[in-house]
Structures are given as structure tokens and as C-alpha cells.
Amino acid sequence: MARTFKVPQFYRSDTIAAIKQLRRLHDPKRRDFSPSELDLGPLKLRVARHFGFCFGVENAIEIAYRAVEENQDKRIFLLSEMIHNPDVNTDLEQRGVKFLMHPDGTVKIPLNTLTREDVVIVPAFGTTVQLQQQLSEIGIDPYYYDTTCPFVEKVWRRAEELGNDGFTVVVHGKRTHEETRATFSHSECGAQTLVILDMDDALFLVDYILGRKTIKEFWDKFEFCVSEGFDPETDLQRIGVVNQTTMLASETHAIAQTIKQGMLKKYGEDLIRDHFADTRDTLCYATNENQNATKELIRTGADLAIVVGGYNSSNTSHLVELCEAEMPTYYIKNVHEIVDAHRIRHFELEAKEVVESQDWLPQASLANPLTIAITSGASCPDKTVDDVISKLSELIPGCMPCAAAVDSFRQNLEANASLP
């Protein structure tokens, strides 16, 4: 039986819970990635099969709120944002929790102002070995309220295994992201480590391995992306690839295959196992499921897509990338970004800024219904998605109540299940 977590009720949604429960009943093995369809009359909503809070996020929220409940007479700190969702982080701040660092690692509150009586919560991304040691020296147990995602810890264990076997660890991730900084820190304890961002970095790395790039070019490219004492002439002879769990799983796989092909050219098929380690087991199942569900959501088609999540959420941004390649896509942090049927504020990935679009919502009617695809990131509460769905139904005249649409969806699932 799957573990359940104590998540505050204000993050939950009866509508979304009903949809997810129906899908679990009719697809217990989670093999059907087709979206859930809600027919509201003039508005048809296609909701991704998998979206919203993952195992690691629910685990983190349960621990963080328990820490607040258990320590009402103490100062409580988070090392940085617990997850990349503004509503969740704001709620914790309103309950008195203070953040020690910005997401990029810059200090907000110096650690030397803490005492052993203070409580520190480690965020879901994990933290560095150095910060764990600093907290321990103050007298604060960094593991007591540790919300690090189990799948992030799995990556750390795999990196440790690679180091023990004499492999250099290549981390596919964003160098300044909290999770990648934590993974890099844990990895470099036992292995030389290099962080690469994308396929361009992977191709450059392969070119260096095959002698097509000079050592000067290597350092110009990766000077600030390697562990101390890294020697590219010797440390790139045995490689294993792990990833920041929120990256595109397909991209991590493609990068690993590209590096493997380079090692094959250099060392040959007979010796490949001595020079390249298979690390497919580090991909996060939730990230992979959400991305596959989004791809299927796109395949079924829609007039436009709405992706809900924090603007600094890596996993959400990748869902946006998938959608906007195929249809008009609006990346919003919550329902308040939808001003009305004519105006919407949304985050532009390329420009990295919030913009406002006019006349974004096409007119709809029973004769000419509008289809909207909806998904959200792994750190987005179901209630936030529910609020967006409710707002859309209010903006389009003639929509039936969401509860009636969910009931109709249930009837369709049951009818299809009864077919031979």
C-alpha cells in the first residue's frame, strides 16, 4: 500500500482528489498516460494524468509543518526555500519560519547568529556536506528535520558507488540550483565531479575526450563546474552520469548515450564497461511520469495550455518547454495571475520575466467549445490547480459545475471499463 502523508487540508482539493482517485481505480498500474477529460460544455479541460505534489514534496511538507507544530516556542529556520512554490514558502514564512539563504545560495541570515536551541529544516533539495557540518558544529542536528527527497538521496548514493568504483561523476544539472549544489557536494567527497548543463556541454565534453578540444578550451568551458583537483587528462577515462532529478529525463538519457558513444569511439566495445557506467536508475520516477503525461497531454491536442507552478521551479519549466513547442502556453504561479478573460500575467522562460498578455482566452460556446490542456509542477498544490480550473469555468459563460463534469468523467471511465 502506498504511503500517505499528513499534508495540510488547505493544499488539497476535493475536485482534483476525485479525478486522481478515479484514475487510480481504473489504472492501478499507472500505465495509461492519457489525460483526464472534463467536459464543462463550452469548455473542455484536458488534465494531465500525472501532476502536482510528488512523494518527495509531500514528505517535505509533512516534516516542515510538523517542525512548526512541535517547536512553537523556538526560532525555526529553513536553509532555503523548502520547495519551489511561492504559496507554500509564503505560508511557512507567515508561520514564523525564516529562510537562511536565497535559492542561489547567497546568505540572508548568517549561520553564526544561530544557537543550539534553534531549529533548522533542510529543504527537499537537500544541502551540502559543508552546511551539514556547520550546523553540527553549532549543535543543531541537520538530520532531525531533514526533508531531503529520497530520490535525491538515491542520486547521492549512486554517486558514492561510482566514486568507490573509481569513476568520475558527471552531473546533468543547473550548477547554481540547490539540488545540484547539494549533489555536487556529496559526490565530490568520494569522486571527481563535473557538472554539465545540456547537450551542448555533453558534445563539448565528448570532443575533448576524443582530442578535438584542447585542455585550455576545457578549462575555459568548465573552470567553475569541477571538483577541487580535477584533472581532465586522467579524470575523464571512467565516467558515470547522474542528474538533478528535476531535469528532463529524456535529455539526461540522451546526454548519457552521447557520452557513452564517445567512450565507445575511444575505448571500443570490449572495454566500454571499464570506462562508462550505466546509471539509468537515478532518474526520478515522478519527474519521468509527469513529463510522459505531459507529452501525452500534448499529443491529444488543445487550443492552449496552462502550466501551474513556481517560476523558479526547474521541473515545471521543463513541462512548459514541452507544451510551448506545440501550442500557446501560459506559465502561471497561481490563479491570481489570471486577471480576467482578456488579461493574464505569465512567466516567459526565455526572457526570464513575468509579462502580461492581452486577449489570451479565445471565445467559446457549445457549438464551438474551447479545449485547454492543464498540468502543474511537482511542487504545486492541488488546490492551486483547482483554483485555476474554477476561474476558467467562471470566465466562460455557460460552463456546468466542475462536480458535474467530474461525475460525467467517472461515468465515462466506468462505461469504457465495462466494454469487452
Residue 350's CATH number: 3.40.1010.20
Cα three-residue angle 377-380-382, rounded to 5 degrees: 115
The residue whose grid cell reads 460552463 is 399
CATH at residue 79: 3.40.50.11270
Alpha carbons 207 and 211: distance in angstroms, whole number: 6
Q: Same domain for 182 and 214? A: yes
pLDDT at 304 over 80: yes
Residue 139: all three cell numbers together: 549543535
Q: How confident is the model at residue 281 (pLDDT cuts 50, 70, 90)?
A: low
For the stretch 354-363, pLDDT in tens is 999 999 999 9
Average of per-residue pLDDT across 256-270:
97
Cα three-residue angle 230-233-235, rounded to 5 degrees: 50
The structural domain count of the chain equals 3
**What is the structure's pLDDT at 43?**
97
The residue whose grid cell reads 492551486 is 384
Q: Same domain for 32 and 62? A: no
**What is the structure's pLDDT at 250?**
86
Question: Measuring CA to CA, which residue among 278, 285, 284 is closest to residue 257?
Answer: 278
Q: What does the buried/exposed string (b/e) look like for 44-80 if buried means 16 or more CB atoms within 10 Å of the residue's CB?
A: bbbbbbbbbbbbbbbbbbbbbbebbeebeeeebbbbb
Q: Same domain for 205 and 243? A: yes
Alpha carbons 124 and 59: distance in angstroms, whole number: 8
Average of per-residue pLDDT across 274-287:
82
pLDDT at 325 over 60: yes
Residue 56: all three cell numbers together: 518527495
pLDDT at 375 over 80: yes
Q: Same domain for 262 and 364? A: no
Alpha carbons 52 and 288: distance in angstroms, whole number: 13
CB atoms within 10 A of CB 242: 27
**What is the structure's pLDDT at 104?**
86
Alpha carbons 257 and 251: distance in angstroms, whole number: 10
Q: Same domain for 82 and 97? A: yes
pLDDT at 298 over 70: yes
Return the SS3 of 158: helix
DSSP string, 237-255: SSEEEEE-TTS-HHHHHHH
Q: Is residue 3 part of a domain?
A: no
Domain final residue pick, 283, 317, 343: 283
Alpha carbons 344 and 302: distance in angstroms, whole number: 18
Q: Is residue 4 part of a domain?
A: no
Q: Is residue 143 part of a domain?
A: no
Quick one: what percent of the chain has pLDDT higher than 70?
A: 98
Range of the domain at 385: 9-54+286-418
pLDDT at 386 over 60: yes
Q: Same domain for 400 and 302? A: yes
Partner residues linked to 90 by β-bridges: none
Cα three-residue angle 373-125-305, rounded to 5 degrees: 10
Q: Is residue 50 part of a domain?
A: yes
Average the pLDDT over each of 200-204, 213-217, 365-369 and give the range with the smallest value.
Answer: 365-369
Average of per-residue pLDDT across 279-304:
89
Average of per-residue pLDDT across 334-354:
97
Residue 359: all three cell numbers together: 486577449
For the stretch 138-183, pLDDT in tens is 999 999 999 999 999 999 999 999 999 999 999 999 999 999 999 9
Domain final residue pick, 103, 138, 173: 138
Average of per-residue pLDDT across 400-417:
87
DSSP string, 349-377: TTTTEEEEEES-S----SSS-EEEEEEE-
Residue among 58, 81, 179, 289 flagged as catalytic? 179
pLDDT at 331 over 80: yes
Question: Measuring CA to CA, which residue among 378, 242, 219 is closest to residue 313?
Answer: 378
Q: Same domain for 279 and 303? A: no
175 CB burial (10 A radius; 0-12, 13-18, 19+): middle
pLDDT at 419 over 80: no
Q: Same domain for 240 and 303? A: no
Q: Same domain for 158 and 129? A: no
The DSSP secondary-structure symbol of 345 reads E
Domain final residue pick, 250, 283, 316: 283
pLDDT at 216 over 90: yes
Known catalytic residue: 161? no
For the stretch 84-143, pLDDT in tens is 999 999 999 999 999 999 988 899 999 999 999 999 999 999 999 999 999 999 999 999
Alpha carbons 253 and 243: distance in angstroms, whole number: 10
pTM: 0.91
Q: Same domain for 272 and 330? A: no
Q: How confident is the model at residue 1 (pLDDT cuts 50, 70, 90)?
A: very low
Alpha carbons 34 and 46: distance in angstroms, whole number: 9
Question: Measuring CA to CA, which residue among 52, 21, 53 is closest to residue 389?
Answer: 52
Distances (CA, A) of 156 to 270, 281, 340: 29, 12, 45
Q: Same domain for 181 and 291? A: no
* Cα 408 to chain centroid, rounded: 32
Question: Measuring CA to CA, which residue among 79, 90, 72, 64 is closest to residue 147?
Answer: 64
Q: Same domain for 276 and 200? A: yes
273 CB burial (10 A radius; 0-12, 13-18, 19+): exposed
The residue whose grid cell reads 568504483 is 165
Q: Is residue 309 part of a domain?
A: yes
Alpha carbons 147 and 123: distance in angstroms, whole number: 5
**What is the structure's pLDDT at 2?**
62
